[in-house]
Structures are given as structure tokens and as C-alpha cells.
Amino acid sequence: MRIMCLDIGTKTIGIAVSDELGITAQPLKTLSRKTEEGDIDALKRLISELNVTEVVVGLPKKTDGSLGQAAVLVLEFAEKLKSAIPQPIHTWDERFSTVAVTRTLLAGDASRAKRKKVVNHLAAAYILQGFLDSR
């Protein structure tokens, strides 16, 4: 069992995967978004190459728990991905994941350029670990 997590933004998609036992999350990469069709094709290839059995999509809820415009866009993309792959797709509350990762990177004295390069796939790993821990 390998689970993939996506932290979907307007410019990038952070990607993380679990180990084969579904216990720990590892950051994988950040995909620069081009077209929706191209993004889905790239994700389909990764899902196939890594033998992913489930996909988790971080859902950016507002602080009050409601769904804003960003969450609506993520849900629309998740629906399109769902129709392109056989694996089940779950959503998971990603509130504060990027903030938590950024704080950790700042505490580690990571430069702005380094933070920008890694924050999305580290956030995906943070989201995925929360999902795995809840099981």
C-alpha cells in the first residue's frame, strides 16, 4: 500500500508519498503547473510508476472550517483527477500545513530561496502524515 498526497496550488503541486506500509510520509517533489491536462497526465505517470493505491488531496479550508475559493478549485481538480485514475481519492484538512512547515524551515535557518523550493512538497508530507496517523 503506497499513498500519495497532493498539496495543490495555483502554480505548483507539492507531492509526497508514504512508505509501502503506509506508516511514514516522505516529501517527493514539487510539480510546476502548466495545464490542467498536463498536470493530470504527470500525476497519472507518477501514480503508476510508484504503484500508488490511494491519493490524498489537501483541502485548504478557511480557519472557521468553511470552504473558500481555493478549496473549490482544489475540489474541482480532484474530481477531474478522480475520473482519470482508478485509485480512490480522499480529501484531508490542510489548514496551517504550509504555515507549520514554513515555521520549521525558518527555525532551521533555511534561506528564502530554499523555503520556496521545498515548502510545497514538505507541506504535502505534513498533510499525508496527519492522514496516516489518523488511521
Torsion angles phi and psi, residue 123, rounded to 5: -65, -40
User: Which three-class secondary structure state does DSSP give residue 62?
Assistant: coil
> How many Cα neighbours within 13 Å face the side chain of 76?
11
Can you give the length of the chain in residues?
135
Task: In whole angstroms, give the CA distance from residue 45 to residue 59.
Answer: 23
Maximum distance among all Cα pairs of the chain, rounded to whole angstroms: 42
What pLDDT digit, counting tens, does each position of 31-78 carry? Answer: 999 999 999 999 999 999 999 999 999 999 998 989 999 999 999 999
- How far, rounded to the nearest angstrom, does the alpha carbon of residue 13 sit from its chain's CA centroid? 7
What pLDDT digit, counting tens, does each position of 77-91 carry? Answer: 999 999 999 999 999
Q: By C-alpha distance, which of 74, 127, 129, 134 is closest to 96?
A: 127
Q: Other C-beta atoms within 10 Å of 77: how many? A: 19
pTM exceeding the 0.85 threshold for the entire prediction? yes
Q: Are 5 and 114 in contact (CB under 8 A)?
A: no
The domain total for the chain is 1
**Range(s) of the domain holding residue 56:** 3-133
Element of type H or E holding 6: strand 3-8
Query: CATH number of the domain that 54 lies in?
Result: 3.30.420.140
What pLDDT digit, counting tens, does each position of 102-113 carry? Answer: 677 667 766 777
